[in-house]
Structure 1
C-alpha cells in the first residue's frame, strides 16, 4: 500500500503541477482577464499549491519518518484542507455562475465583472482557511523513543472525541453535502434550460456536466466515508488502512483532474492553448530553418575558401611546400 500510494502521488504531482501550471500560465498571462479566467485561475492556483506539497508526503511514505519538523507537519495538513474547501467552493461558484448566465443572460452580461469575481474568490479562500484551521491545530508529531522515528498525525486521542466528531461532520456538511446539492441543482436548471432551447442540438454540454458531477462525487465521497469510519475505533478497523489509501488517491487525483475537466474542455481555453502550441511550433520550425541556412552558408564559405586555397597552391612555387 505504501508503494502504491507513493507511486500514485508522484504521478499526481507531475500531472498536477504540469496541468495546473499550464492553466495558470494561459489564463493568467496569455488570455484576456475575464470572470471565467478568474474562476479557472483561482482553481488552478489552489490545486497547484496542493500538488507542490506532495513531495513532502512522498518522502514521508518512503522513509516512514517525518523529518520536516512540526511546522511543515501542520502546514501540509492545512494546505490539504484549504485545497479541498477552496476547490470545492470554486466549483460551486463556477456552477452557480453558469446557471445564472443560462437563466438570466441579460442580467449576467451587465452585472458579471472581474472585480466582483475577485471579491468572491477572496471570500472563498478566507472561508476555506477558517474551516481548515482545526486540522492544523490538532496536527502533531509523535516520536518513538526506541527508534527515534517521528510520525505526523492528528492528535484526536489527546482531546475529547466530540472534537473529532464535530470536525468530521463539519467537513462532510460544508465540504460535500452542501456543495453536491448546489452543483446538482445548478446543473439540473442548466440542463432543463438547454433542453427547452431549440438552438441547442449538441449533447456535448450534457456529457461535460455529467463528467464533472461524477468526478466530484467519486473523488470526495470515499474521503468522507473513510473519515466517518475512523470515528469508530472498535468496528471496521481492518478496512480503514485500505480505505485511507483509496480515499487519499482519489482525493489527491482531484487536483490534477480539475484542469482537464473545467479548463481544457472550454472552447476559449482550447483555442488559446492551440494558438500557443502553433506559435511554439512555428518558432521551433523557424529556428530550424535558420540553423539550416546558417549551416549552408558556412559550408558554402568553407568550400569557396578550399577552392581558393587549392588554386593558390597550384600557382605557388613547389619549394615552399617542401620546406
Structure 2
C-alpha cells in the first residue's frame, strides 16, 4: 500500500474498504471495475454507527446555518458596528460558511461515494481548514484585545477602532487561507473499483503528510492557546487586583464582578479546545502503525464531527452565556445575543472608568 496516501481523510470520512491493493496499476483497477460493473450500493443505512454520524452531522448543519445566520443578521445589521461586533461577526461568518458546505460531506457519509467532482473535493476541505485557523486566530486577537483593554484602558479607549479591528480580521483570513493551501494541493479524487473517494494524496511529496499534520497542530492549536493562556493570566491577575482595590474602597458594593464580561469569551475558547483536541490527537496518531485501524477510522470520524460541532455551538453560547441570562425567559432571543456580543465593549468601558476613578482617587489624596 502506498503509505503516502491518506486514506483516513482529514476533515472527511473514509469508507470501510480494503486499501491494501490500492497502489495497483490503473489497468488492473479498470479491469476490477469491469468485473464489479454493478452500481455501488451504500451500506450506511444498515449500520448504526453510520446512521449516528448522519444524524449528528445533520444537526450540526441545521443548527449551524440557523444559529450563525441569526448572529450575522444581528451583529451585521441590527447592532452598532463596534470593535467587538467586528470580531464576533467574523467568527459567525467563518462558522456559517463551513456549515453551508457541510451537506456535501453528509451526502458522502450516506452514499459512501463521492459524486461531486474534484473542485468540491478540494473546496470543502479548504473551507474547513480556513474555518479552523480563522476561528483560533480570531480568538487570539480577541484575547489580546481584551488584555490591552484591561492593562492599558486609557490607551485602548483612544485607539481601539473598528477600522483597525477590520484590518486585523482581514489579516486573520489571509493567514488562514495560506495555511489551508495544502488542502487544495493534496486533496484528490480517486477511483477504487466502483467507488469514488475524496482523499488526501501525499505521494507526490515525501514526508509532506507528517509536516502538514504537525504544522496544523502547532499553528492551529498549540501556539494560539499558549498566547490565549498568557493573555487571560494577565487579565485575571489585573482584574482581581482591581476588584480587591475597589472593594476595599467600597466603590463597587452593588456592581457585578469585573470578570463577568469575560465569561462568553472563556466559554468560546474552552469549547474550541474541547472540540478540536480529539481531531488533532487522532491526526497525529494516524501514522502510528501500532494503532488499530478500526479505532483510528472511528476516532477520526467522530473527532471530525466534534470539530465541526464547534461551528454550531458558538451561537448557543452567545445566547445562554450573555448578560441577563437569568432573565432569559423575559428577554427575546435577539436581545440576549446582543448582550453577549456587547459584553466586550462593556469590559473596555468599565476598565477605562475604573482606571479613571482610580486616577481621580489618587489626585484627591494629593489635594
Question: For the superposition of Structure 1 and Structure 2, which TM-score range results when normalised by the shorter chain?
Answer: 0.7 to 0.9
Q: What secondary structure does 1:235 align onto? A: coil
Q: What is the aligned counterpart of 2:240 among 195, 202, 207?
A: 195
Structure 2 gaps of 5+ residues are 1-48, 244-251, 326-330, 339-367
2:223, 2:173 → 1: CA distance? 17
Task: Work out which structure has the larger RCO, using CA pairs closer than 8 Å and 6 or more positions apart in sequence.
Answer: 2
For residue 201 of structure 1, report the CA deviation from its aligned partner: 5.1
1:150, 1:136 → 2: CA distance? 18
Q: What is the aligned counterpart of 1:167 among 212, 215, 231?
A: 212
Structure 1 gaps of 5+ residues are 278-323
* Counterpart position of 1:321: none
TM-score with structure 2 setting the length: 0.70
For residue 276 of structure 1, report the CA deviation from its aligned partner: 10
For residue 238 of structure 1, report the CA deviation from its aligned partner: 3.2
1:13/1:52 contact within 8 Å kept: yes
* Aligned pairs for 1:10-25 within 5 A: 10-25=58-73
Cα–Cα, structure 1 residues 275 and 164, in superposed 2: closer, same or farther, change >3 Å? closer
Cα–Cα, structure 1 residues 121 and 262, in superposed 2: closer, same or farther, change >3 Å? farther
* Counterpart position of 1:218: 274
**Higher fraction of helix:** 1
Q: What secondary structure does 1:140 align onto? A: strand
* Counterpart position of 2:351: none
1:143, 1:245 → 2: CA distance? 21
Larger Rg: 1
Whether 1:274 and 2:319 are equivalent positions in the alignment is no
2:179, 2:301 → 1: CA distance? 24
1:101, 1:107 → 2: CA distance? 8
* Counterpart position of 2:155: 107
Cα deviation, 1:191-213, whole Å, max 9, x if unaligned, reads 11221123475364565455334
Aligned length: 274
Cα–Cα, structure 1 residues 210 and 89, in superposed 2: closer, same or farther, change >3 Å? closer
Give the RMSD, CA atoms, in angstroms.
2.4
Q: What is the aligned counterpart of 2:179 among 131, 138, 150?
A: 131
2:322/2:337 contact within 8 Å kept: no
For residue 152 of structure 1, report the CA deviation from its aligned partner: 0.4
Q: What is the aligned counterpart of 1:121 among 169, 191, 208?
A: 169
* Counterpart position of 1:183: 228
